[in-house]
Amino acid sequence: MDIKEAKQLPRWKRYKLRKSGVDVPMFKAGAPKGYKQSERHIEKRKRFGPDHHNWKGDNIVEKTGRTRAERKYTATECEKCGEKNKRLDRHHIDGNTKNNDKSNVIVMCRKCHMIIHGRAKKLVETAKRNQPKAVAARWN
């Protein structure tokens, strides 16, 4: 099959033909060759934060504040214990996820974050309490 014929077929049909053993050329995804984006479009795409066209300011939900903090503060180690290569959380000191100032956000590992919020002790107690049941269930 030549390229002209293949371009006229939808993607799913080319896929099916390829699976059945017909030699169908592959096409790279993206804009066609020679396509150039306008300067205005490129500048619009570069904007973020208050300059972005879809910026909502502080009129956001809690999860969005956490997402903004994750994007803004990247790190490779916990600021509290120094552990590396772990999943890191962003802790908001004042509890307000909309407040993403550097003085309000600490990057830390999950363990340290759970200790600060008091969830680590509760997790350990629950595991100790449930362990005999889990072990008995596994062996019966």
107, 88 contact by CB (below 8 A):
yes
pLDDT band at 20 (very low <50, low <70, confident <90, very high): very high
pTM over 0.95: no
Mean pLDDT score, 37-66: 82
Mean pLDDT score, 83-87: 81
Dist CA 103 CA 12 (whole Å):
52
**Angle at the Cα of 109 from the Cα atoms of 104 and 110, rounded to 5 degrees:** 100
Phi first, then psi, for residue 53 (nearest 5°) are -65, -20
pLDDT band at 90 (very low <50, low <70, confident <90, very high): very high
Dist CA 16 CA 68 (whole Å):
42
Predicted local distance difference test score (pLDDT) of residue 103? 93
Predicted local distance difference test score (pLDDT) of residue 11? 86
List, for residues 92-138, the tens digit of each pLDDT value.
Answer: 999 898 888 999 999 999 889 989 988 888 887 787 777 766 655 55
Look at residue 82 and tell me whether its pLDDT is greater than 70.
yes
